[in-house]
Amino acid sequence: MSRIDAKFAQLRAEGRKAFVSYVMAGDPDYETSLEIVKGLPAAGVDIIELGMPFTDPMADGLTIQAAGQRALDGGQTLEKTLDIVRALRKVDNTTPVVMMGYYNPIYSRGVTRFLSDAREAGIDGLIVVDLPPEEDSELCIPARDYDINFIRLATPTTDNARLPTVLQNTSGFVYYVSVNGITGTAAASAAAVGPEVARIKAATDLPVIVGFGIRSPEAAESIASVADGCVIGSAIVAQIADGKPVSEVLSFVADLAAGAHRA
C-alpha cells in the first residue's frame, strides 16, 4: 500500500476529510522552503503537494507564477527539490508527497533517471499538468514501475465522454479543478462542486480532492464537505510572498487544515 493509499485509509477510518497543501519548492529560498515543508505535517497537512519551479507555468496564476520565479532566481533546481523531500524523509516517513508541475524539467532530466531519483527521494505521486492521457506512455505508465502514483486533473469541462479516458491510468486520487481557468482566480462553490464530485465518484473508486479557488478555513470546510478533501495553494503561497515568518505561515496552514477537518 502506497503512502497515499495508507493516508486515505487512515482518514476514512477516522471519519475525516483530507487537507492537501501546495507550496513551491525553493520559495522564497531553499532553507525557508525546507523549514515550511518540514512543518506542514504538524500543522495538520495530510498530503504535501510540492511545486517544481518552471519558467513557463501555463496553468498557474500570478501568485504561483511569482513563487516559481522567486525560487528559480534563488537557484532552485529539480535536484534541490528532490533534496527537500530527502530531508523531509529523515524526519517523516509517512506523510505523502506529490510533486506538481510541468513535463519539461522531467523530460530534460530523463524519465527513467527522474523516476528512479524520485522514488529514492521518497516521492509518492506526480501531477504533471501538461501531459494529457494521450501521452500516458511518456510518464504515467512508466511511473507504475516505480510505485509512483500519477494523479490526473478533472475539470468542469471534463464531460462524461472524456471522463473514462482521464481516469484510465489515474491512481492515488483524482484532483478536481473546481473552476475554469488558472490557479488563484475565482472562488470555488460547494453548490457547483458537489454534483461534479458525485459524477466523478460514480465512475471511480479513487478519492476526489478539490482544488482551485479555496482561500479560507470556511471555504475549506465547505468544499471538503462535498468531496474527500481539498487542496489549498495560492492562499498559502501568498503568505510566503508577503514575507510572513515560518511560524505565521504554518499557523495559517493549521487554520485551513482545521477547517477541512471539520467537514
In the annotation, is 147 catalytic? no
- The answer to whether the beta carbons of residues 38 and 82 sit under 8 Å apart is no
Residue 232 contacts residue 178 (beta carbons within 8 Å):
no
Instruction: Give whole-number Cα distances, 2 to 47, 88, 247, 251, in Å.
Output: 12, 17, 30, 29
Residue among 27, 46, 49, 196 flagged as catalytic: 49
| DSSP one-letter code for 150 | E
Q: If DSSP codes are grouped into helix, strand and coil, which group holds residue 173?
A: coil
What phi-psi label fits residue 149: left (phi over 0), alpha (psi between -120 and 50 degrees) or beta? beta
Q: At what angle do helices 30-39 and 246-262 cross, to 10 degrees?
A: 30
> Which DSSP letter does residue 151 get?
P
Catalytic position from the list 60, 117, 136, 228 = 60
60 is catalytic: yes
Q: Which residues are bridge partners to 208 per DSSP?
A: 174
Yes or no: say if 223 and 193 are a contact pair by the CB < 8 Å rule.
yes
- Positions annotated as catalytic residues are 49, 60
